[in-house]
Amino acid sequence: MRTSDKDKRRGFVPLLGRAALAVFFCTAFLWRCATIMTPTGGPKDTLPPVITLMTPDNFTTNFKDRKIYIEFDEFVQIKDQQKEFFTSPQMKKKPTITLRGRGISVQLRDTLRENTTYALNFGSAICDNNEGNPLYSMRYVFSTGPEIDSMVLSGYTVDAYKADSVSKSFIYFYIADSVPEPKEYDSTLFNYKPQVIARAETNGIFLAQNLKPVPYRVYAFQDTNDNQMYEPSIDKVGFLDSLINPALMPDFSVWYDSLRHYVTADPQVFMRMFTDVAFKRQTLQQSERPARHKAMLYFGAAHPEVTGLRFDSIPAEWVIWDPQTVGRDTVALWFDVPSASLPDTIKGEITYFKHDTVNRLQEVTEPLKLAWRYIESKSEEKEREKLERERKRAEAAGEEWEEPEKPNPFKVNLSTTGDVNPLDNLKLEFDYPLRKLDSAAVQLTYTTEQQPEPRPAEVRFERDTANMRVWRLKSDWQLGGKYELLVPPGAFENIANEQNDSLRGTYTVADPEKFATIRLHVEGKAPDAKYVVQLLNGSNGLLQERRDVTTGDLRFDYVPAGEIRLRVIEDLNGNGRWDSGNLVERRQPERAEMYVNADGESTFATKENWEVELDIDMNELFAPITMESLIEQLEQQEMQRLSKYLDEQQQNRKNRKDDQQGQSSSGMGFGGAMGGLGSMGGSGGMGGALGGFGNSF
pLDDT for the residue numbered 4: 42
Mean pLDDT value of segment 592-613:
92
Dump strand ranges (E) for 524-630. 531-537, 542-549, 552-559, 562-570, 592-594, 604-606, 611-617
Mean pLDDT value of segment 298-323:
95
pLDDT over 90 (residue 618): yes
Helix (H, G, I), strand (E, B) or coil at 64: coil
Q: Is the torsion defined by CA of 149, 152, 158, 160 positive or negative?
A: negative
pLDDT over 80 (residue 106): yes
pLDDT for the residue numbered 21: 53
The domains of the chain are located at 13-148+663-697, 149-267, 284-371, 412-510, 530-631
Q: Do 13-148+663-697 and 412-510 share a fold?
A: yes
Mean pLDDT value of segment 661-690:
39
pLDDT band at 661 (very low <50, low <70, confident <90, very high): confident
pLDDT band at 644 (very low <50, low <70, confident <90, very high): confident
CA 254 to chain centre: 29
Q: How far apart are CA 116 and CA 529, in angstroms?
A: 50
Q: Which residues contact 551 (CB under 8 A, 6 or more apart)?
A: 522, 523, 524, 527, 529
Percent of the chain with pLDDT over 70: 89
Residue 272: which of 641, 630, 631, 632 has the closest Cα?
A: 630
The tens digit of pLDDT for each residue in 531-541 reads: 999 999 999 99
pLDDT band at 31 (very low <50, low <70, confident <90, very high): very low
Stated pTM of the model: 0.77
Amino acid occupying residue 505: G
pLDDT band at 687 (very low <50, low <70, confident <90, very high): very low
Q: How far apart are CA 406 and CA 226, in angstroms?
A: 55
Amino acid occupying residue 271: M
CATH class of residue range 412-510: mainly beta
Q: Considering the chain, what is the average pLDDT of its residues?
A: 87
Paired residues of 196 in beta bridges:
173
pLDDT over 70 (residue 422): yes
Q: How far apart are CA 210 and CA 16, in angstroms?
A: 17
Topology annotation, domain 13-148+663-697: Immunoglobulin-like (2.60.40)
- Pairing relation of β-strands 592-594 and 562-570? antiparallel
pLDDT over 60 (residue 18): no
Amino acid occupying residue 682: G
pLDDT for the residue numbered 261: 75
Kindly report whether the peptide bond that precedes residue 14 is cis, defined as omega within 30 degrees of 0.
no
pLDDT over 80 (residue 301): yes
Residue with more model confidence, 269 or 685: 269
pLDDT for the residue numbered 660: 75
Q: How far apart are CA 502 and CA 410, in angstroms?
A: 11
pLDDT for the residue numbered 45: 73
Query: Rg (Cα) of the chain, in Å, rounded?
Result: 33
Residue with more model confidence, 467 or 667: 467
Range of lowest pLDDT (230-244, 486-500, 616-630): 616-630
Q: How far apart are CA 538 and CA 172, in angstroms?
A: 34
Contact indicator for 141, 59 with CB cutoff of 8 Å: yes
Q: How far apart are CA 63 and CA 225, in angstroms?
A: 33
DSSP 8-class letter at 587 = B
pLDDT over 60 (residue 544): yes
pLDDT band at 300 (very low <50, low <70, confident <90, very high): very high
The tens digit of pLDDT for each residue in 449-496 reads: 889 999 999 999 999 988 999 999 999 999 889 999 999 999 999 999
Q: How far apart are CA 535 and CA 518, in angstroms?
A: 9
The tens digit of pLDDT for each residue in 56-90 reads: 999 999 999 999 999 999 999 999 999 999 999 99
Residue 198: which of 303, 269, 132 has the closest Cα?
A: 269
Backbone φ, ψ for residue 391 (5° rounding): -65, -45
Just give the CATH number of 149-267: 2.60.40
Helix (H, G, I), strand (E, B) or coil at 30: helix
pLDDT for the residue numbered 664: 62
pLDDT for the residue numbered 260: 74
Q: How far apart are CA 87 and CA 172, in angstroms?
A: 12
* Per-residue exposure over 87-115, b if at least 16 CB sit within 10 Å of its own CB, e if not: bbbebeebbebeeeebbbbbebeeeeeee
The tens digit of pLDDT for each residue in 425-448 reads: 999 999 999 999 999 999 999 999
Q: How far apart are CA 513 and CA 611, in angstroms?
A: 10
Q: How far apart are CA 287 and CA 447, in angstroms?
A: 52
Q: How far apart are CA 580 and CA 273, in angstroms?
A: 9
Candidates 2.60.40, 2.60.120, 3.10.450, 2.40.50; CATH matching 284-371: 2.60.40
